[in-house]
């Protein structure tokens, strides 16, 4: 794992790729990396937008689970 090895630029690219596939863990990790400035300049605005994406996805999943067929 690039992040564990503190290879933050490689980890950032990997998480960005996984984000495009809808990987929620990758979105969370990206948010934290942007917040902390790991592998990139700190960007709290991007971090918050990514966390908002997670919240929206969580709401959608809860709605999907509540639908009874």
Burial class (CB in 10 A: 0-12, 13-18, 19+), 52: exposed
Residues 6+ apart with CB under 8 A from 9: 39, 40
Say if residue 7's pLDDT is above 90: yes
CA distances from 46 to 8, 28, 57, 62 (A): 17, 11, 17, 25
Note the pLDDT of residue 69. Answer: 55
- Residue pLDDT, tens place only, 19-49: 999 899 999 999 999 999 999 999 999 999 9
Rounded distance, CA 44 to CA 18, Å?
Answer: 20
Q: What is the model's pTM?
A: 0.84
Looking at per-residue pLDDT, the higher value among 65 and 42 belongs to 42
Asked whether residue 60 carries a pLDDT value surpassing 70, the answer given is: yes
């Amino acid at each position: 794992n690039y992040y564990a090895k503190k290879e933050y630029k490689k980890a950032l690219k990997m998480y960005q790729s996984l984000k495009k596939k809808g990987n929620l863990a990758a979105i969370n990790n990206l948010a934290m990396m942007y917040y902390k400035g790991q592998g990139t300049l700190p960007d709290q605005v991007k971090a918050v937008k990514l966390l908002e994406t997670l919240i929206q996805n969580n709401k959608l999943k809860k709605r999907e689970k509540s639908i009874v067929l």
